[in-house]
């Protein structure tokens, strides 16, 4: 892949997540167009932009939850783990059961590291439905760790987290990157992750509403 207009593609490095000229829509309304970037192993990209500009929509498109109007996403099959507002938590299972469930789904072993690093050990036997909002969010992020997947696509990962938990999360992301993982995140806060590239989506605002391909599919998403 060539260097793109976000300037994030390091020449000669293998591209792990390539987003080329993507246009995407929500509710039949085109939001973004011409979005291109690459994220290489060990790198993180933070998406910024005002409320409603399409950050969530772009992340959903990257994660394969909705079709793009145009463009191309290059990523190894089964490389992406997506975490959004809903967190993917099973309410009636305990914290440990949730993580074991996901470890089994993704074919990974061991939940200890995730429990430890997201400060969930003391909550391991508590039903997920009885967790506080921030604790639920920590469980959702621990789920990412047990997926074993290299590309983390995260929508507002720090919502409901207190300062200490944000720091835990940032540590976990750093370790993920150090192991050759990647992360694409939408967040409004300064994570304290200066090594992450920032991409402001404001400049990719779609010029014309285009209720075209994709809007029918979206009715079912």
Ligand X SMILES: Nc1ncnc2c1ncn2[C@@H]1O[C@H](COP(=O)(O)OP(=O)(O)OP(=O)(O)O)[C@@H](O)[C@H]1O
Nearer Cβ to ligand X (27/209)? 27
Nearer Cβ to ligand X (24/111)? 24
At 208, which helix (H) or strand (E)? Answer: none
Other C-beta atoms within 10 Å of 29: how many?
A: 14
22 within 8 A of 73, measured Cβ to Cβ: yes
Q: How far apart are CA 54 and CA 71, in angstroms?
A: 16
Among 92, 87, 116, 90, residue whose Cα is nearest residue 104:
90
Nearer Cβ to ligand X (170/206)? 206
Nearest distance from C-beta of residue 35 to ligand X, angstroms:
12
Q: How far apart are CA 6 and CA 36, in angstroms?
A: 6
Nearest distance from C-beta of residue 149 to ligand X, angstroms:
22
SS3 28: coil
Q: How far apart are CA 82 and CA 88, in angstroms?
A: 9
Nearer Cβ to ligand X (192/211)? 211
Residue 74 pairs with which residues in a beta bridge? 18
Question: Closest-CB residue for ligand X?
Answer: 27
List contacts with ligand X (CB under 6 A). Answer: 26-27, 31, 49, 51-57, 186
Nearer Cβ to ligand X (97/218)? 218
160 within 8 A of 139, measured Cβ to Cβ: no
Nearest distance from C-beta of residue 221 to ligand X, angstroms:
8
């Amino acid at each position: 892949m060539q260097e793109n207009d976000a300037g994030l593609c390091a020449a000669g490095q293998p591209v792990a997540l390539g987003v080329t000229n993507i246009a995407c829509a929500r509710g039949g309304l085109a939001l973004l167009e011409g979005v291109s970037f690459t994220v290489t192993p060990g790198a993180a990209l933070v998406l910024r932009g005002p409320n409603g500009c399409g950050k969530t929509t772009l992340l959903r498109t990257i994660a394969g939850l909705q079709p793009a109007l145009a463009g191309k996403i290059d990523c190894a099959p089964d490389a992406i783990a997506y975490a959004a507002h809903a967190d993917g938590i099973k309410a009636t299972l305990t914290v440990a059961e949730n993580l074991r469930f996901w470890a089994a789904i993704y074919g990974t072993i061991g939940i200890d590291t995730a429990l430890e690093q997201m400060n969930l050990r003391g909550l391991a036997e508590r039903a997920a439905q009885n967790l506080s909002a921030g604790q639920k969010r920590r469980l959702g992020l621990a789920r990412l760790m047990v997926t074993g997947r290299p590309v983390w696509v995260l929508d507002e990962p720090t919502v409901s987290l207190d300062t200490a938990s944000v720091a835990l999360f940032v540590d976990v992301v750093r370790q993920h990157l150090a192991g050759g993982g990647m992360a694409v995140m939408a967040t409004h806060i300064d994570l304290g992750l200066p090594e992450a590239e920032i991409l402001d989506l404001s400049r990719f605002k779609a010029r014309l509403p285009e209720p075209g391909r994709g809007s029918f599919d979206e009715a079912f998403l």
